[in-house]
Amino acid sequence: MRRQRNVKIVATLGPASNDYDTIRSLFEAGADVFRMNMSHGTHDEQRARHAIVRQVEKDLDRPIAILADLQGPKLRCGVFTAGATEIEEGHEFRFDLDDAPGESHRVCLPHPEIFAALETGSTLLVNDGKLRLRVKDCSAEHANCIVEVGGTISDRKGVNVPDVVLPLAALSEKDKADLEFACQLGVDWLALSFVQRAEDVEEARALAGGRASVLSKIEKPAAVNAFREILKASDGIMVARGDLGVELPVYAVPPIQKRLINDCRRAGKPVIVATQMLESMIESPMPTRAEVSDVANAIYDGADAVMLSAESAAGDYPIEAVSTMNAVAIEVEHDDTYREQADAQRVASRSGVNDAIVAAAREIAETTDIKAICCFTQSGTTALLTSRERPRVPIIALTPLKGTARRLCLSWGTNCFVTPGEVERFKAAVVSAARAARTAGFAEEGDQIVVTAGVPFNVPGTTNILRVAPCDERLIFSTDTE
């Protein structure tokens, strides 16, 4: 079941994708990673979905990554006496800590952390930015605001504070419980919401304790401003354009998306572009032309993965949505412009032997008749560096660790295989690579592959050897492993 494209597809599971047949069909249609949204569903429901994915993985003998997306702290206003009220442009409106039901002039905002951070002139956004208020004056217990964009405000609507860094941890108590549950379950990636600073990521990494990789969701202006530090602390990034487009002008999001993707590629860390990619397919079997262009642009930008949310979790056409995204990716990657941009965005990095080996592997593959680059990897670093190079030939990542193979499913171009036991000698590595290339249909008798590995074996970060090897049967079936 070889993919005909390099970019990966993340599909969110939910009520519309809750059974074995649907989840298997989603994988066969093109999903490489399954996302469990911890904002919805019970632990028992998530445990059942996790078990189904692992059964599909076993039945198809292909590593599949599972990503648990943590909810993050939710800032919401209180309730109103009438359930809702209208606020008008130019009028005053007050947020405070009084838990009495709200009226036309005020409502409770039960988050003292917000009042501690607010300043005169700060912006408050309500209901995904549909309402905008500017702080006139404030204290530790209230904020008097002028309504700049009015409308209906109703019970427990979300509140965003885009232009201040809030003294809130990215992990609520619910998130900590969800994180521990997900790690015990055996997920491969944790997506961290409400990231504002690198310290938020470090806290999640400490709690995960190496049981899962940590991916930071960039959805706040503070995260954009501190992105370099956040990227350094993270294993991967998600450009969460929904909340980002609420807290920033929508026209600022596309250039931010491009900049973040470029930074991730330089760092050799996977990046997902998410939110509203094929949203019309929640209810329609066909996407809009603008949505198709949006998916295509994310792929042209160099994203490692594109993501479906409600389209696959709660929509009427989950399999069609994955198939559409798969078809768009194949079409884009066959365009000469895509390859030109991938090559132009490559930044030479020669900071060590690892970088030199993977760069040489790509150059050899692109100047001779090589069918694939085969990377033996323990931690996944070699495959990530090879992915960063964006070679024109397939990347085959071979590892004895199932967890490493699963995590690499998120990275551009990687075709992941679990080797039956640790490899001790380089000749055995070459044999395993040739066998994998032949079995998976990447190479045939007489073809050549590039094999990279580290000696001594099974030591992370020691890539130091490269060989061009034939894929002939004599090599594959040889018992000589000297």
Average pLDDT for 132-141: 96
Are 278 and 379 contained in the same domain? no
- The CATH code of the domain that includes 116 is 2.40.33.10
pLDDT of residue 480: 45
In a domain, 78, yes or no: no
Sign of the alpha-carbon torsion through 43, 46, 52, 56: negative
Are 136 and 258 contained in the same domain? no
Whole-angstrom Cα distance, residue 110 to residue 98? Answer: 8
Q: Which tokens is 97 given?
A: 């800590």
Residue 363 pLDDT > 50: yes
In a domain, 165, yes or no: no
In a domain, 347, yes or no: no
Instruction: Give the tens place of pLDDT for each residue, 215-260.
Output: 999 999 999 999 999 999 999 999 999 889 999 999 999 999 999 9
Are 460 and 376 contained in the same domain? yes
Share of the chain above pLDDT 70, in %: 96
What's the domain count of the chain?
Answer: 3
Q: Which of 140, 160, 180 is the last residue before a domain boundary?
A: 160
Are 394 and 462 contained in the same domain? yes
Are 50 and 147 contained in the same domain? no
In a domain, 108, yes or no: yes
Which of these is catalytic: 62, 132, 258, 275? 275
Are 143 and 292 contained in the same domain? no
Average pLDDT for 262-291: 96
Burial of 379 (0-12, 13-18, 19+ CB in 10 A): middle
Which of these is catalytic: 74, 76, 136, 176? 76
Average pLDDT for 279-305: 97
Are 67 and 88 contained in the same domain? no
Share of the chain above pLDDT 90, in %: 84
Are 366 and 329 contained in the same domain? no
Q: What is the 3-state secondary structure (H, E, C) of the chain?
A: CCCCCCCEEEEEECCCCCCHHHHHHHHHHCCCEEEEECCCCCHHHHHHHHHHHHHHHHHHCCCCEEEEECCCCCCECCCECCCEEEECCCCEEEEECCCCCEECCEEECCCHHHHHHCCCCCEEEECCCCEEEEEEEECCCEEEEEEEECEEEECCCEEECCCCCCCCCCCCHHHHHHHHHHHHHCCCEEEECCCCCHHHHHHHHHHHCCCCEEEEEECCHHHHHCHHHHHHHCCEEEEEHHHHHHHCCHHHHHHHHHHHHHHHHHHCCCEEEECCCCHHHHCCCCCCHHHHHHHHHHHHHCCCEEEECHHHHCCCCHHHHHHHHHHHHHHHHCCHHHHHHHHHCCCCCCCCHHHHHHHHHHHHHHHCCEEEEEEECCCCHHHHHHHHHCCCCCEEEEECCHHHHHHHCCCCCEEEEECCCCCCCHHHHHHHHHHHHHHCCCCCCCCEEEEEEECCCCCCCCEEEEEEEECCHHHHCCCCCC
Are 259 and 370 contained in the same domain? no
Whole-angstrom Cα distance, residue 270 to residue 192? Answer: 15
Residue 291 pLDDT > 70: yes
Judge whether 35 counts as a catalytic residue: yes
Residue 107 belongs to what domain range?
84-160
In a domain, 436, yes or no: yes
Instruction: Give the tens place of pLDDT for each residue, 424-458.
Output: 678 888 888 999 999 899 999 889 999 998 877 76
The position carrying tokens 């640790």 is 422
Instruction: Give the tens place of pLDDT for each residue, 377-409.
Output: 889 999 999 999 999 999 999 999 999 999 999
Average pLDDT for 180-196: 97
Q: What pTM did the predictor assign?
A: 0.93
- The CATH code of the domain that includes 361 is 3.40.1380.20
pLDDT of residue 478: 58
Contacts of 480 (CB under 8 A, 6+ apart): 427
Instruction: Give the tens place of pLDDT for each residue, 68-98.
Output: 999 999 899 999 999 999 999 999 999 999 9
Measured in degrees and rounded to the nearest 5, phi and psi for residue 456 equal: -70, 150
- The CATH code of the domain that includes 243 is 3.20.20.60
Whole-angstrom Cα distance, residue 92 to residue 335? Answer: 54
Q: Which of 127, 160, 193 is the last residue before a domain boundary?
A: 160
CA angle 418, 184, 75 (to 5 degrees): 120
In a domain, 151, yes or no: yes
Are 155 and 206 contained in the same domain? no
Are 214 and 313 contained in the same domain? yes
Which of these is catalytic: 94, 157, 217, 371? 217
Residue 4 pLDDT > 50: yes
Contact of 306 with 295, CB cutoff 8 Å: yes
Which of these is catalytic: 5, 8, 24, 35? 35
Judge whether 76 counts as a catalytic residue: yes
In a domain, 344, yes or no: no
In a domain, 397, yes or no: yes
Residue 5 pLDDT > 50: yes
Are 330 and 372 contained in the same domain? no
Q: Which tokens is 461 given?
A: 């970060």
Residue 346: pLDDT band by 50, 70, 90 thresholds?
A: confident
